[in-house]
């Protein structure tokens, strides 16, 4: 089961209700927004991890601050208005593209953009927690971590529905060489530093 599938499964039932109440949206809209937001965030993290410096930065952040314990008390975190490091993670991962990503999730899900901001701030620490957990369990080095993100990104892109649409939209925001695909940008850089 992929990272996106596992997190989607965990943010269901009472956890979904708690998150919906916290951001002020109905559960169906929240669920639709999660389906759009998770692939976008994972895709953006894969993009960041496609450079040696970006992957090293992510690896260090996971080692120092994200051990996965956030997933042990998911309901409490999602029900709290304090989403911890979420805003900082988004600034680092999305940078100037954050507004565009928020608008994209809003467009795909029908959720108001201001609520999308709160949703992303909740989802970002969960993704980091999951990655930190995997990094420890599997003993991942920098290349292994980048490889997992790239595989997740590729898997989501090959799917259908909201996740694939979200990645198409994200591609327009993050495409480096203007050829309409940022998967090749990631693949090229990933291949380059994994050989080092």
Q: CB neighbours of 69 closer than 8 A, spacing ≥ 6?
A: 129
Q: Where are the alpha helices (DSSP H) in 66-180?
A: 74-78, 86-94, 98-109, 113-138, 142-158, 162-174
Report the number of distinct structural domains present in the chain. 1
Residue whose tokens read 């953009």: 113
Give residue-wise pLDDT tens across range 20-57.
Answer: 999 999 999 999 999 989 988 998 898 888 888 888 99
Two tokens at 35?
Answer: 């389906």
Instruction: Give the domain range for residue 48.
Output: 3-194
How confident is the model at residue 178, as a pLDDT? 47
Radius of gyration for the chain, computed over Cα atoms and rounded to the nearest angstrom: 16
pLDDT of residue 179: 42
Is the per-residue pLDDT at 177 higher than 50?
Answer: no
Tens of pLDDT along 69-101? Answer: 888 888 888 888 777 789 999 998 888 889 988
Give me the helix-helix angle, 183-194 and 27-48, nearest 10°.
40
């Amino acid at each position: 089961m992929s990272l996106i599938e596992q997190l989607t499964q965990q943010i269901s039932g009472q956890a979904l209700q708690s998150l919906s109440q916290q951001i002020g949206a109905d559960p169906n809209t929240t669920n639709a927004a999660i389906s759009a937001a998770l692939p976008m965030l994972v895709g953006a993290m894969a993009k960041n991890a496609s450079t040696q410096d970006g992957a090293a930065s992510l690896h260090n952040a996971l080692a120092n601050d994200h051990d996965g314990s956030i997933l042990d008390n998911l309901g409490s975190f999602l029900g709290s208005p304090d989403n911890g490091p979420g805003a900082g993670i988004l600034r680092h991962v999305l940078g100037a593209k954050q507004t565009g990503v928020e608008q994209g999730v809003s467009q795909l899900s029908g959720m108001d953009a201001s609520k999308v901001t709160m949703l992303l701030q909740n989802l970002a620490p969960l993704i980091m927690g999951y990655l930190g957990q995997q990094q420890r369990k599997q003993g991942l080095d920098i290349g292994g971590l980048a490889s997992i993100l790239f595989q997740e990104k590729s898997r989501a892109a090959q799917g259908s529905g909201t996740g694939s649409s979200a990645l198409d939209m994200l591609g327009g925001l993050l495409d480096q060489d203007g050829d309409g695909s940022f998967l090749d940008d990631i693949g090229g850089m990933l291949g380059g530093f994994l050989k080092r």
